[in-house]
Amino acid sequence: MSEKKKLSLTSRIVIGMVAGIILGTIIRYVAGDNAWVSLYLTNGLFDVVGQIFITSLKMLVVPLVFVSLVVGTCSLSDPSKLGRLGGKAVGMYMVTTAIAITFAIGSAILVQPGSGIERASDASFEPSEAPSVSEVIVNLFPDNPINAMAEGNMLQIIVFALLFGISMALVGKPGERLKGFFDDLNSVIMKLVVILMNLAPYGVFALMAKLFTEIGVEMIGSLAKYFLLVLFVLLAHGLIVYPLFMRVLARVKPGIFMRKMRDAQLFGFSTASSNATMPITLETVTRRLGVSNSVGSFTVPLGATINMDGTAIMQGVATVFIAQVYGLDLGVAEYLMVIMTATLASVGTAGVPGVGLIMLAMVLQQVGLPVEGIGLIIGVDRLLDMTRTAVNVTGDAMVSCVVARSEGDFDEDVYYDNDAGKKLEEL
């Protein structure tokens, strides 16, 4: 008997996503006020399944980052390579973010998304306190690594894992013995990632079904110009700028990169969190794109924490938009300030849903724009958050490939092999 051809994981996730969007939209317009539907479906089944899905992804992040980074670092032949790697990755992350935000500001100045918009009198937003640059730097170092793990403080976990891995490499025999243990642990955690990936279609379905009972296209309303402009710049950055980097700096055919990144992008889109998507990004980068584990295990968590090009794009457009709505003029110096602040701000912020708006408060304050302006765009932010997270995740993977290529840690055979990593993805 011929076996039925199994749909690819990507297709199954897309089906789950589309079905969820359709069902959520139907519920919103047909059964929005039905108490039974709201109690048992929207806030019952969909909510429970969606929450469990996101929570299980997050559950993997801390053990995965720590273990894979220790494995990656302790097998580095030359620990000084780490400094070079770190420098390159941070440099690339900053440069791509600065490019993204410059592109966004330029487009917004051209399109003028804020012209003709009435300032809503009820716009309100309470900014939270942003940390200073020196605090951000000191906070890289954990005083208690267990605490850092308990809090999910990614940068502190990265620093501890690097120091731990380097010591393992330097100590000789005990380090080698421990490496076997960490290798095994890494395989087990990766298996767990694969199991979760295979459950993703259901999780994504539930997340979308719940979300789309809450948001509808009519919410975009007068913000259509702003919304579409952010979307356009996000897509252009993801579909033109990244492939260009892949072609020029990683020196590979970019179409393959975009195809292999689809799963991670779908995860990013449906969870709106680069952090929660990190296990999938890491799996894609190391097993499917050909980046060595020692580079990927370092650059991916670092990127998920400090690299947010999509977020910077939203911030660029939003700053110009808010200035226009409030009738305030920004000069070149202020725009440069926006580029600098947004680029630096992204370093100190975690990849969780909605965090881009908090960072925007910092940027607005820096150039003297009213922070309440954020209240104007909050209503359409969720959909943009989802899209920009997909861009953020793609940026992390792109930089990982470029850095790996420059270090000679990039396996082209894996990159060009369509089936690379597929076997491991099967349960």
Rule CB under 6 A: is residue 96 a binding residue for ligand ASP? no
Rule CB under 6 A: is residue 368 a binding residue for ligand ASP? no
Whichever of 194 and 342 has its CB closer to ligand ASP, that residue is 342
In angstroms, the CA 223 to CA 211 distance is: 20
Rule CB under 6 A: is residue 389 a binding residue for ligand ASP? yes
Rule CB under 6 A: is residue 293 a binding residue for ligand ASP? no
In the bound complex, what is the minimum distance in angstroms from residue 269's beta carbon to ligand ASP?
10
In the bound complex, what is the minimum distance in angstroms from residue 354's beta carbon to ligand ASP?
5
Rule CB under 6 A: is residue 308 a binding residue for ligand ASP? yes
Whichever of 274 and 292 has its CB closer to ligand ASP, that residue is 274
Stretch of 65-73, 92-100, 294-302, 384-392 contacting ligand ASP, by CB under 6 A? 384-392
In angstroms, the CA 161 to CA 139 distance is: 15
In the bound complex, what is the minimum distance in angstroms from residue 270's beta carbon to ligand ASP?
12
- Rounded to 5, what percent of the chain is helix, strand, coil? 80, 0, 20
In the bound complex, what is the minimum distance in angstroms from residue 356's beta carbon to ligand ASP?
3
In angstroms, the CA 382 to CA 123 distance is: 17
Q: In 3D, which of 367, 421, 390, 372 has the Cα closest to residue 313?
A: 390
Site string for ligand ASP, 260-279 (x = CB under 6 A): ------------xxx-----
Please enumerate in sequence order all residues whose Cβ is within 8 A of that of 156, keeping only pairs 6 or more positions apart, or say none. 139, 140, 141, 142, 145, 148
Q: Work out which of 108, 168, 318, 355 binds ligand ASP, going by CB under 6 A.
A: 355
Question: 329-354 burial string, b = 16+ CB within 10 Å, else e?
Answer: ebeeebbebbbebbbbbbbbbbbbbe
In the bound complex, what is the minimum distance in angstroms from residue 313's beta carbon to ligand ASP?
9
Q: Count CB-CB contacts under 10 A for residue 256.
A: 17
Residue nearest to ligand ASP according to CB distances in the complex: 356
Burial of 420 (0-12, 13-18, 19+ CB in 10 A): middle
Site string for ligand ASP, 223-262 (x = CB under 6 A): ----------------------------------------
The residues in 315-354 that bind ligand ASP, with binding defined as CB under 6 A, are 351-354
The letter for the amino acid at 158 is I
Please enumerate in sequence order all residues whose Cβ is within 8 A of that of 30, keeping only pairs 6 or more positions apart, or say none. none
Q: What angle do CA 300, 287, 273 make, to 5 degrees?
A: 35
Q: Work out which of 42, 297, 311, 319 binds ligand ASP, going by CB under 6 A.
A: 311
In angstroms, the CA 322 to CA 318 distance is: 6
Rule CB under 6 A: is residue 388 a binding residue for ligand ASP? yes
Binding site for ligand ASP (CB under 6 A): 272-274, 308, 311, 351-356, 385, 388-389, 392
